[in-house]
Amino acid sequence: MQKTVSFSKHACNVFFHILTSCNLRCAHCYINREQHGDQTLPLATIEAWLRVFATKNKVANVIFLGGEPTLHPDLPAAVRMARAMGFKSITIDTNGYLFHNILERLDPEAVDYLSFSLDGANRQTNDRIRGRGSYDACTEGLRRAVAAGFHTSLIYTVSGTNLDELKKMPSLLSDLGVERFFIQVIGLRGKSACGSRTGRQVAAQDWLTIIPEVAAQVARRGITATYPKVFLGLDDPFECAGLVADNYFIFPNGRVYRCPLCEDFPLHSMKFAGDRLETMPPINEADLFQLTIPEGCVMNKLVQPENITYHRDGNPEYRVACCLLKEELTP
């Protein structure tokens, strides 16, 4: 079954970067230490910031991110804190190296999903993007997690470099025992914004032709597949998650964004001052969310305008959807 995952004000999604350090140097990494900081948050700060969102919404989900979050020695304690606070779901995004014996220090019941990142169906393609040895580490870590009873998902970030490899992923996902598959569009931020070797974003026609078909193949194997909608018809309604959803992207320097496309810039609409969440004065991302343009997403138009094509009369050929709008195919 295919459905568009609608934005909801009834749920709060907290994307919590508890550190920015990482053992890999992925070519498309979006971490920008100038804007995000280089701190590793102490456990007391993690607890205090989690509590702000646990009390903000009764239906709150948290995703622990980095850098590589398993490099944080207190990640298991942070997970248990989040569970005790009543977060509806807890996910750890990892590159698969699984530092600090994380599988032994957490019970499968403590976390809803371990989400692994792989950007190629074979060693050569993945390691060219993510670093030598990362394919073997990720697939081995994923197999260990499945054997230990953890629920697992896998994230594949699509670019011009690895688009062809995507077609080979369905069989690999089945072999690895993955339950959910997330296809991501590469964002032009962090290293990607600096012309990294991953290549540019996938053209609209390629995306609309290849991505839905691969997702359907994955779903037929009994695996839930999710991918960003990206392109809207000119008559399709546009919604900005910043206006109609509760998503928060937290970084170790205290910045809190509502839109991931804004993260390369000091446009954060909120910040932590100590343990208190404060609203930033204008002009910030929240002011940009209010703008209506024919191209759809305002931030996409500002930071990656070359990805939009136009008819001869100056009208866009399509509208770019909010990057948080997803299509989901379930078995």
Tokens for 220, please give them: 């037929």
Delimit the domains of the chain by residue range: 2-329
Q: pLDDT tens across 2-23, in order?
A: 766 667 777 799 999 999 999 9
State the first-to-last Cα distance of the chain, in angstroms, to the nearest integer.
Answer: 6
pTM of the predicted model, to two decimals?
0.94
Mean pLDDT along residues 150-179:
96
Dihedral sign computed on CA atoms, order 189, 40, 52, 54: positive
Q: Where are the beta strands (DSSP E) in 106-196?
A: 113-117, 152-158, 180-185
Q: What is the pLDDT of residue 72?
A: 98
Q: Which residues contact 43 (CB under 8 A, 6 or more apart)?
A: 74, 77, 78
Q: What is the pLDDT of residue 193?
A: 47
Q: Where are the beta strands (DSSP E) in 78-179?
A: 89-94, 113-117, 152-158
- CATH code, residues 2-329: 3.20.20.70
Q: pLDDT tens across 247-296, in order?
A: 999 999 999 999 999 999 999 999 999 999 999 999 999 999 999 999 99
Q: Is the pLDDT reported for residue 302 higher than 50?
A: yes
Give the position of tokens 């590793």.
40
Residue 279 parent element (H or E): strand 276-279
Which of 30-39, 69-78, 86-95, 103-112 is predicted with the least confidence, judged by mean pLDDT? 30-39
Q: Is the pLDDT reported for residue 108 higher than 50?
A: yes
Q: pLDDT tens across 39-55, in order?
A: 999 999 999 999 999 98
Query: Rounded distance, CA 88 to CA 79, Å?
Result: 12
Q: What is the mean pLDDT of the chain?
A: 92
